[in-house]
Structure 1
Amino acid sequence: MKGTILEYNEVSRSGVISGDDGQRYSLDVADWKASQLPRAGNKVDFSVNGDKAEAVYSEAASSDASSKKIAAALLAFFLGAFGAHKFYLGYTKQGVIMLLVFIFGFILIGIPSMIIALIAFVEFIIYLVKSDADFEQTYVIGRKPWF
């Protein structure tokens, strides 16, 4: 059966999976079959034994996260001062802020524009340094708009 991890507690090493059938199943880390620990939002494939999920495998979503991470990093590097990476990640308000500050920054001798370009460069570095899973958890699932 397929489903999504709703929550996972690293201390108790247990969690809850919402199956595609609408039922919820308990997850124990002993049944987890992937190399990285489970995270809330992970898509999984698992077997059911009563109300317990067994043989839980993470579905391959890392290629999507990786491609989104690389595209966001490239946009931050080349068009970051215009907020292109923010628009790409779905942060419209923050993208508009960056775009307007960059454009109107030329009125104030370009200092605000340089600051926005520096922020975009810092975000480019942060995007590259984060692992694919951390990037997805922070910026795609967690919706963290700045840094």
Structure 2
Amino acid sequence: MKGKILSYDNNTRNGIISGDDGNRYTFDVVEWKAAVLPKVGASVDFASNGAFAEAIFADSAAASGNSKKIPAALLAFFLGAFGVHKFYLGYKTQGVIMLLVFLFGWLLLGIPSIVISIVAFIEFIIYLIKSDEDFEQTYVVGKRGWF
């Protein structure tokens, strides 16, 4: 059956799917069969067992093209020294660190600012080299803040 995810809670790892049949089904992340965690609004294909959803797969037609990889890479290239790509990926602490190192680095002859710019460029390269799935698993799901 097809449906859409109405809600998903990362803490309880449970959610609700609205099926195309008009019914709502609860699910546990154990039944999730995709590499990326469920997201609200994502289209899914699942089997129903009463009021529960089982064997839930992300709808591949809907899932393609929603990666944060390209925007994050472009932000790392053009505004990476300011940590903008970190803020985009949800890493506030790392973004603030990069921003402050860049801004206050000029007090130390600019050397820290140059170093943080090199870090941003390395992250740009890494983002481009990784596949979409690997990027999502590492930086979105796994919450890996650096490299």
TM-score normalised by length of structure 1: 0.70
Q: Which moved more, 1:38-47 or 1:130-139?
A: 38-47
Which of 55, 58, 63 is the aligned partner of 1:61? 63
Q: For residues 26 and 137 of structure 1, what CA distance do their matches in structure 2 show?
A: 17
Q: Is the 8 A contact 1:25 1:53 kept in 2?
A: no
Structure-1 residue corresponding to 2:75: 75
Deviation at 1:138, TM superposition (A): 1.3
Q: Is the 8 A contact 2:91 2:145 kept in 1?
A: yes
Secondary structure at the aligned position of 1:45 is classed as: strand
Q: For residues 115 and 144 of structure 1, what CA distance do their matches in structure 2 show?
A: 20
Q: For residues 57 and 47 of structure 1, what CA distance do their matches in structure 2 show?
A: 9
Which of 35, 40, 45 is the aligned partner of 1:39? 35
Q: For residues 136 and 29 of structure 2, what CA distance do their matches in structure 1 show?
A: 24
Q: For residues 145 and 105 of structure 1, what CA distance do their matches in structure 2 show?
A: 21
Structure-2 residue corresponding to 1:136: 136
Q: Percent identity?
A: 56
2:120 paired with 1:120: yes
Q: Which runs of 5+ in 1 are unaligned?
A: 5-16, 33-37
Q: How does 1:7-46 map to 2 (within 5 A)?
A: 20=17, 21-24=25-28, 38-39=34-35, 41-42=37-38, 44-46=44-46
**CA RMSD, Structure 1 to Structure 2 (Å):** 3.1
Deviation at 1:39, TM superposition (A): 2.1
Deviation at 1:144, TM superposition (A): 1.1
Secondary structure at the aligned position of 1:22 is classed as: strand
Q: For residues 102 and 24 of structure 1, what CA distance do their matches in structure 2 show?
A: 43
Question: In the alignment, residue 70 of structure 2 is paired with which amino acid?
Answer: I
**Cα deviation 1:10-55 (Å, max 9, x = unaligned):** xxxxxxx96622244976xxxx8xxxxx42515631223678846x
Q: Is the 8 A contact 1:91 1:145 kept in 2?
A: yes
Q: Is the 8 A contact 1:77 1:124 kept in 2?
A: yes
TM-score normalised by length of structure 2: 0.70
Q: Is the 8 A contact 2:102 2:116 kept in 1?
A: yes
